[in-house]
Amino acid sequence: MPYFPPRQSGFNGLHHLALMYGDACQPWTPEILTYYAAHLDDTGRPVDWLFDSFLFLNLASSRGRDYRADINLGTTMSGEGDFFAWCSPRPAEVTDWLELLDFYFGPQGVLATLDQTLEQLVDQVPQPYGHRRNVVLMIPYPHISQRVFGQLPGEDTALNFGVEGQNLDRATRQRLHACSWFVEQLVARWSAGRYRHLHLLGAYWMFESVHRSWEVDDHWLLKELRPVLHRHDLKFLWIPFYSRYTIHLLDDYQRYYFDLAFLQPNVMFYQQGVDLAAAATAARQRGAGLEMEYYLELDEPIAVTAERHTRFRTYLDGGVHHGYMTEAACAWFLGQGSLERMHGHPDPQERVFYRDVYRFIRGTYRPAGCSETPATPSLALAVDLGGTHLRVAVVDERGNLYQRWQVPTPGNRPAILEAMVALLSAGRDWVLGQGGRPAGIGVSTGGRVNFATGEVLDATALLPDWRAVPLGSYLRETLDLPVWVDNDGNCAALAEQQFGHGRGQAHFLTLVLGTGIGGGLVVNHHLVRGTHHAAAELGHISIQHDGPICSCGNWGCVELFASGSGLAAMGQTLVEAGLLALSPPITAEALGRAAQAGHPIAQDVIQRAGRLLGVAITGLLHTLNPQRVILSGPLTQLGDLYLQPVRQTVHERTLPLARVADIWISDLKDPGLLGAAGLVASAVPAAGRERG
């Protein structure tokens, strides 16, 4: 059995989970969260993304009442000397549980702050943002010593988690009731938050073991709590303490208790009885992830403090030697306040470790003196050909853009091919200059494409002279690289499936709102191309049977009214009629600026376009009933003036059972390029990419 694999769609791409220990008396700030969301260069400039997932957990409330399960009454660390664990004598009450919810979801809570931090970083980090960042929230431990927990809001009876005066079954059911209520609160408050950059992945069980005795039955509680989470499509996560007993619990953990467990090796903390190789083997044999451990200082009596640097290097090197750097989902215990201080630490070793954490997360860390070369990222040459621009980029399988070139789209076939080859040659030369070789070329193009042969069959007037083009074979022969070609709408859907809001979604629909309107359709996790390569031509849905003729030959297509070219044409008509003053060139963006400046006619035109797009989407929802509709492309920048009428029309016209929860706006900066790169990543086997 392998480790718990990273980047699974069902877990929204989770790979590296940061344990974010909070302080109830001190809220998180964007300045601190930036160090965990992004990697900063020596000048403090964010240059890449870092953790894709965040686990927020507090040990105690502002009143000093414990959310954690136990405390150490001895003078040494767990497992050594006179360590003595005992169930907390100051267990959290309902007031403290409510405080934790506010810590998560309040106006200054950590989720709003993280969302704000990511919003700022999207414009600063040069690499693509990709999918929403995962959030995991701790459920407080329902202490068996808590005999007067208090009344949950709206209830009349105070809960008692202890066995004094009642049997174990009744006590455990009350513990479950409190935990289930907490999960329901997480879901309700999350829905109200409408966070733009976050994905609620699941909840975390704080206790590092699972016990049953005369006084406690965590086994039954966990088996009953997990379905509560699953009803809300949430995962249950756990990080068990490394011991013979918890290794036994991991044997079948996904069947009974948790969806994902990270084994903590404890190599950072103990003098004896620790073995990273044994822990890695145990995690691999049981389908678990692994926890990385480091700290600058801890308020605990740890005997191996002097070996801190050596032991962290053991963890980092072990990621390569035992494979968990690239093969396993990893959780990161970094103490409290370590990473942000490591960046500019006076000790140069801490600054080296700061960079090593980034290299490990990127999968490029290499032990000193290691003759093995870590797997290099697979680099694809991605092409995005639209009606306005021709763009080429070097992209890896994680969606990171390394280099990018762009020119205006030429006006005829020979010029398009010449420009495309020139830009691809520049990209190939750049990759070769880095000591690599491109894995292949992926092309996202307007028009209808035979994916099997790479031939562009035909296109509308937005791409003149672009039909019967053997693009795949031409580029393959010219550049001596494998080539995959697909329609731009399909590529946008592929980008969302791999990097965006389509991750983990079985059925979803994308609409690309640019010069024209493209689309892509995913059903049962598979991209639908159609019998004759014409599926999801969503811009050419007719919404006026006797409307104006479209460049495709149909009448009243939605593209005529709601696309960039359609809005530009309407803007031109208004200017010629003397109803609107715009300087040439007249574009959808210029019309949008006039609308934002308060021009009522421009506002009416954009709102009408949104309503008509909503009519087309309504028909799609009644036909396909997807889980999500995802909008991308330049026109989404028109904002609520354009998008609110879309949402309102869909809500008013769609049957209740066919409605989606929301119309999602893509977070991807370059869905065309990412989708084109995804064609390569989907087609080239992983082993072949590493050899390339």
Q: What's the rounded Cα separation, in Å, for the pair 251 and 271?
A: 26
pLDDT tens digit string along 328-342?
Answer: 999 999 988 899 999
pLDDT tens digit string along 69-119?
Answer: 776 555 555 555 555 556 778 899 999 999 999 999 999 999 999 999 999
Name which residue leads in pLDDT, 239 or 306. 239
Q: Any idea which of 505-514, 576-585, 668-677 has the lowest mean pLDDT?
A: 576-585
Global model pTM greater than 0.75: no
**What is the H or E stretch that residue 608 is in?**
helix 600-624
Residues 464-491 as b or e (16 or more Cβ within 10 Å = b): bebeebebbebbbeebebbbbbbbbbbb
pLDDT of residue 303: 65
Q: What's the rounded Cα separation, in Å, for the pair 475 and 444?
A: 13
Helix axes 168-193 and 94-105, enclosed angle (nearest 10): 20
- Tokens 């593209």 locate to 559
Contact (CB, 8 A) for 641 and 609: no
Across the chain, what does the average pLDDT equal? 88
**What's the rounded mean pLDDT across residues 265-288?**
86
**What's the rounded mean pLDDT across residues 14-40?**
95
Using the predicted structure, report yes or no on whether residue 468 has a pLDDT greater than 90: yes
Using the predicted structure, report yes or no on whether residue 692 has a pLDDT greater than 60: no
Q: Which 3 state secondary structure label does DSSP give 451?
A: coil
Domains, the chain, ordered by start:
9-64+93-140+175-362 (3.20.20.60), 379-491+675-691 (3.30.420.40), 505-667 (3.30.420.40)
pLDDT tens digit string along 357-384?
Answer: 999 999 889 888 655 544 456 789 999 9
**What's the rounded mean pLDDT across residues 460-484?**
91
**What's the rounded mean pLDDT across residues 298-306?**
70
pLDDT of residue 111: 98
Strands (E), 23-158: 38-40, 46-49, 53-58, 70-72, 85-87, 133-139
Give the percent of the chain with pLDDT over 90.
Answer: 54
Residues shown for the chain: 692
Q: Any idea which of 39-53, 145-159, 186-200, 431-445 has the lowest mean pLDDT?
A: 431-445
Contact (CB, 8 A) for 87 and 70: yes
Using the predicted structure, report yes or no on whether residue 453 has a pLDDT greater than 70: yes
**What is the H or E stretch that residue 261 is in?**
strand 260-263
Give the percent of the chain with pLDDT over 70.
Answer: 93
pLDDT of residue 674: 92
